[in-house]
Amino acid sequence: MNFSRLMVLLLAFAATACVHRPGLTPPENLREHQQQVQAIDDWQLSGKLGIRTPDDSGSASLKWAQHTSGYQLNLAGPLGQKRLIITGKPGKVRLEQTGEPIQEAKTPEALIKQQLGWTLPVTQLAYWVRGVPAPKGRITRLQQNSDGLIALLQQGDWLITYSNYSDQTVSGKTLALPGKVTAEYGDVRLILAIRQWQLGPQQ
């Protein structure tokens, strides 16, 4: 798969474009965990991202920094041969990639439309990667593991599965976050293997 196309597809997965509809309500213990995770405004992760489609597949290393004011995703292809930086804040998304002109748009959806000619109506991956449902979007399936954490989530048209949870510490609290996230939408499959989490403001 073309590396640039792979990265723009990631934007589709990170975009917010779902309509809120009634659905399942997470159990009380899960809602408490969800509230604690969502209260963390600053976090970072690093790992490997893979995308599979009926036509092709591709992968890239990923560093994702999320802050109250916005986010930045740094991606690199095999052996660092091509790099891409996605920076987002309210009202502006910026795409920088090796050897290509800088692309900008007001929303991730607009940038996807500009790059690929279509959009994907999905919820925020920023919630899913942390093992919690996005605040908008109907939950139609939810299964918990033996620790009460989400093992499987179906929200809108997306099916997300979780594994390899590990304890992370922030402000004296311990929270379990996933080490592997798989999201499927039709024939598209996104696999995120998380190597490291960092919670709270970084020096």
pLDDT in tens, 117-153: 544 443 468 889 999 998 888 899 999 998 889 999 9
Question: Measuring CA to CA, which residue among 10, 17, 20 is closest to residue 135?
Answer: 20
Return the domain boundaries, the chain.
Answer: 3-199
pTM for this model (two decimals): 0.82
Confidence of residue 48 (pLDDT cuts 50, 70, 90): very high
Which CB contacts under 8 angstroms, 24+ apart, belong to 150-157? 150/30, 153/128, 155/18, 155/23, 155/123, 155/128, 156/18, 156/121, 156/122, 156/123, 157/121, 157/122, 157/185, 157/186
pLDDT above 50 (res 29): yes
Burial class of residue 76 (count of CB atoms within 10 Å of its CB; 0-12, 13-18, 19+): middle
- In CATH, which superfamily holds the domain spanning 3-199? Lipoprotein localisation LolA/LolB/LppX (2.50.20.10)
